[in-house]
Chain A
Amino acid sequence: MTNQIILLIITGVGAGILGAIMGIGGGMIITPVLTVLMGLPIQYAIAASIVAVIATSSGATIAYLRDDMLNLRVAMFLEIGTTVGAIVGAILTGMIPSSILYWLFGALLVFSTYNMIRKLIGKTDAAPADHPDELATKLKLNGTYFDKSTQKQVDYTVTNVPGGMTMMFGAGLASGMLGIGSGAFKVIAMDTIMKMPLKPSSATSNLMMGVTAAASATVYFFNGSLHPGIAVPLALGILGGALIGSRIMPLMPTRLLRMIFVPIIGFMGIQMLLKGFGVNI
């Protein structure tokens, strides 16, 4: 038993570090470890992954709030989209074939990967905010953060609020119906669609994904698929990892952050597309 607990804690620390840095839940690390390495049934793995998302979110949020890295108003406003999306997703489950959803969301991720590679080549990360967006200004969504890697205060504006909201609704839908990728879609909504810098996008995604996961977590908690023997060591490891990750991320150059993000969402996209065809990797 002790060996298993240690394996779970180590897995948690790894997933927590990566999740906190990238603004993703870390299910792509946790689920394979639980199902393949430990041979646990998939529904226990999913339940543990959902709690893992909350642990990552709450662990990382503490540091990001203190550093003023995340954008609280963007998070609150867009959470309307993710929470409504999650409920609609839960209601629609079974009405739409999940293979269609996997194709759709998989294609979206692959397209986002392509977009991000273009950004890496084009160096547009350093580009200053151009024109202020009326709706974003009205909603006080424009923000600022201190970039520890360049030692500069970065003021930014966001654009295309309706587009970001639509994507957030989709992110909620995806996590409600498929229990996947809630963090990755959130980062894409802010970074790619709303043109928010990557660091506050990741930190804000961290904050938001806890709320999206809280509702699903109650389902698994009360229907008995959440096993404390698995979830507790995992959650403790993740909280520790998220604490470490949220201290590393502000120090990382944005470009490096994006270079890690690209293969992760690329892999997730291909994985989902294949799942749509009934292939599990």
Chain B
Amino acid sequence: MQNRERDHVREESKYVALMIGRIMRIGVMAAVVVLLIGLVMMMFQGGQLTAATQPHRFGTIFVGLMHGQADAVMMVGLFLLILTPVLRVVVSIYAFMVEHDQLYVWITTVVLIILVVAMIIGYFG
């Protein structure tokens, strides 16, 4: 009985892990594509690695994108990369929901709330 229960938990966590892994891969690939495009653009546009101040607010990044600035493209790529751990937490909530693991739906939701609050503090800090 105990073995069967343990095998059940094992199968469940394997399924959850695979599901989160697949979506993580898509998220990371999206970030990598944008980062690569930005890097290639920077190499063509030339200049110093740290010379000018880069756009670092949503508005200036958007304006930069419209003007085809490498810096703005790279900032978008970095932002996507920063979002990948958040994506992982969000997908985990869904995955635990599918598994009817109510306890971990709650635990993961708490983590997401704390994380989002921290990021909002980061945005205004």
Q: Contact string, B48-85, partner A, CB cutoff 8 A, digits 1/0? A: 11100110110000000000001100110111011111
Q: How far is the CB of B38 from chain A (nearest CB, A)?
A: 6
Interface residue from B13, B17, B39, B78 paired with A226 (Cβ < 8 Å) = B78
Complex Cα distance, B54 from A228, in Å, reads: 8
Do A221 and B118 touch across chains, with their CB atoms under 8 A apart?
A: no
Q: B70 to chain A: which residues have CB within 8 Å?
A: 228
Do A73 and B81 touch across chains, with their CB atoms under 8 A apart?
A: no
Do A236 and B24 touch across chains, with their CB atoms under 8 A apart?
A: no
Q: Does B97 contact A (CB under 8 A)?
A: no
Do B84 and A54 touch across chains, with their CB atoms under 8 A apart?
A: yes
Q: What interface size band does chain B fall in?
A: 35 or more
Q: Contact string, B100-125, partner A, CB cutoff 8 A, digits 1/0? A: 01011001101100110111011101
Do B14 and A68 touch across chains, with their CB atoms under 8 A apart?
A: yes
Take A55-B81, A66-B18, A76-B108 as given contacts and tell me if A228 and B115 are in contact as well, using a CB distance cutoff of 8 Å: no
Closest A residue to B32 using CB positions = A239
Do A229 and B10 touch across chains, with their CB atoms under 8 A apart?
A: no
Q: Contact string, A176-204, partner B, CB cutoff 8 A, digits 1/0? A: 00000000000000000000000000000
Q: Does A149 contact B (CB under 8 A)?
A: no
Do B24 and A232 touch across chains, with their CB atoms under 8 A apart?
A: no
Complex Cα distance, B24 from A55, in Å, reads: 12
Closest A residue to B12 using CB positions = A140
Do B103 and A139 touch across chains, with their CB atoms under 8 A apart?
A: yes
Do A211 and B84 touch across chains, with their CB atoms under 8 A apart?
A: no
Closest A residue to B95 using CB positions = A72
Q: How far is the CB of A199 from chain B (nearest CB, A)?
A: 15
Take A80-B111, A227-B50 as given contacts and tell me if A1 and B38 are in contact as well, using a CB distance cutoff of 8 Å: no
- Determine the main DSSP class of B at the interface with A: helix
Closest A residue to B118 using CB positions = A215
Do B118 and A83 touch across chains, with their CB atoms under 8 A apart?
A: yes
Closest B residue to A243 using CB positions = B28
Q: Does A280 contact B (CB under 8 A)?
A: no
Interface residue from B9, B42, B103, B125 paired with A229 (Cβ < 8 Å) = B42
Q: How far is the CB of B71 from chain A (nearest CB, A)?
A: 5
Interface residue from A4, A59, A140, A229 paired with B28 (Cβ < 8 Å) = A59
Q: A264 to chain B: which residues have CB within 8 Å?
A: none
Q: Does A44 contact B (CB under 8 A)?
A: yes
Q: A58 to chain B: which residues have CB within 8 Å?
A: 24, 27-28, 31, 81, 84-85, 88
Do B21 and A65 touch across chains, with their CB atoms under 8 A apart?
A: yes
Do B17 and A236 touch across chains, with their CB atoms under 8 A apart?
A: no
Chain A contacts to B: CB under 8 angstroms: 1-2, 4-5, 40, 44, 51, 54-55, 57-59, 61-62, 65-66, 68, 70, 72-73, 76-77, 79-80, 83-84, 86-87, 90, 139-140, 143-144, 155, 207, 210-211, 213-219, 221-224, 226-233, 235-236, 239
The 6 closest A-B pairs by CB, nearest first: A218-B122, A65-B21, A215-B118, A228-B74, A229-B49, A210-B85
